[in-house]
Amino acid sequence: MQNQNQNKIQNPSTQVPKTPQMNDRDFLNDMLSTEKYMTQAYTTALHEASHQHLYDDILLIFNETQKMQRDLYNLMFQKGWYKMEAQDTQKIQQSYQQHSGYTNQFPYDSQIQ
């Protein structure tokens, strides 16, 4: 069990009451999920916008939504309500090598730096 906890990247969790009502963590989690959904929807709208002014307006809203998503993530991470799994250096290097081989499939000349 201790080995599993060493692989978690997380701040100490802020305690929330265990009641049937939504608490701060629940509200933040709901808002973060909504912001993620909205950024995906705005990305689709940006790809399909045929008018430059419409594109510019959607891009502005997208950027604001993306910033809010990041702010919510940072707040949840700070409170210990959002955690990530740490990976060892060897697994990261293996994944990098695997995916860097895909660059020859790109339709343009690119180099990984």
pLDDT digits (tens, 9 = 90+) for 44-83: 999 999 999 999 999 999 999 999 999 999 999 998 888 7
* pLDDT for the residue numbered 83: 79
pLDDT number for residue 2: 42
Model confidence at 108: pLDDT above 90: no
**What is the percent of the chain where pLDDT is above 90?**
45
- Tally the domains of the chain: 1
Whether 50 maps to a domain, the answer reads yes
- The answer to the question of residue 88 being in a domain is no
Residue ranges of E strands in the chain: 8-9, 84-85
Domain range holding 40?
34-80
pLDDT of res. 1: 41
**Mean of the per-residue pLDDT values of the chain:** 84
- Of 12 and 1, the structure prediction assigns the larger pLDDT to 12
- Residues in contact with 57: Cβ distance below 8 Å, sequence separation at least 6, in sequence order: none
Highest mean pLDDT among 13-17, 44-48, 86-90, 94-98: 44-48
Judged by DSSP in three states, 29 sits in helix
Is residue 26 in a domain? Answer: no
Residue 86 belongs to some domain of the structure: no
- How close are the terminal C-alpha atoms of the chain, in Å? 38
